[in-house]
Copies of this chain bind each other. A is one copy, B any other.
């Protein structure tokens, strides 16, 4: 039954102190070779399974794991290509540092709080959560290093974000160069309230997600400079799922047939837009130009291939993990650069 062999049993059987037995496993160099081998032999014979993980954790205070927290349900994280890239980067750094990766999973907010409280980890990575949220509060209460990714939650020991303003600006600049004049912006969700559809000025003024705020600002700055009135831009808040976007874009084009430039805040959204436009018989890029943000692999295979502003999500995840595991306070956010990736869904005017 509950008769697990303990270190103290091994020590007794081998005729050494518990401290020495502990060292034989954890700090081999502190024990004479001969003696250590004897201890290990005795342990093996007794069926000792090695130091008890939880007991070691309690004593040392180290969990050997990095917690990764995604907003809302986890299913989304495992279906969004960008989130997966991010996880890949996190995984890479965790492997490098011999630390495991704990995915905090929950079906709802209440469960998420409990999951955070039960997670034996040394640091937290928080992706894309907005601030003032009970899950964030729970994480903060744990008093562990906490790194925000693509979010500027208060109390983070470090923050890794994309240069969203400049990324969005470059997308807008490019579509202007391609000749677009009547714009639609397909936004990611501005808040966690599950609201979709047309965004009025009030909604645009109270965006809780940093990513959305910055990208909007980037788009607007460039378009205003070009003499376009923000009030003339159609803003639609979309769920980050191609299938959902299809319907929204179909409606959008029916309502505003003169749109000739679509700025999507993610490639997933942009791909949904391309699909809708193909189905409704719009010519891309002849009639409408489309730009995404992210640079996901699938964008290279759409028809037409998707122009986008690429980011390196793997590296973003890796850096965030590195900062979290280092645990230092880094006051300045780490700002990652974007790269314009022109493919066929936008089109430069003929230079001939």
Contacts and interface: CB of A to CB of B under 8 A. Distances in A.
Per assembly, the copies of the chain total: 2
Contacts of A301: 301
Interface in A104-127: 104-107, 111, 114-115, 117-120
- Category for how many chain A residues contact B: 35 or more
A60 to B, nearest CB: 9
B54 A63 contact: yes
Given A49-B143, A54-B120, A142-B49, A105 B99 contact: yes
A100 B95 contact: no
Contacts of A120: 53-54, 57, 63, 65, 120
Contacts of A91: 74-75, 77-78, 103, 105
A84 B91 CA distance: 14
A206 interface: no
Interface string A87-100: 11001101110111
Interface of A: 49-50, 52-55, 57-58, 61, 63-65, 67, 73-75, 77-79, 84, 87-88, 91-92, 94-96, 98-107, 111, 114-115, 117-120, 141-143, 298, 301
What are the 7 closest A-B residue pairs judged by CB atoms, nearest first? A78-B88, A101-B103, A54-B57, A95-B105, A74-B91, A54-B58, A94-B105
18 contacts: A49-B141, A49-B142, A53-B119, A54-B54, A54-B61, A54-B63, A57-B58, A57-B120, A58-B58, A64-B119, A78-B87, A95-B106, A98-B115, A100-B104, A100-B105, A100-B115, A103-B103, A298-B298
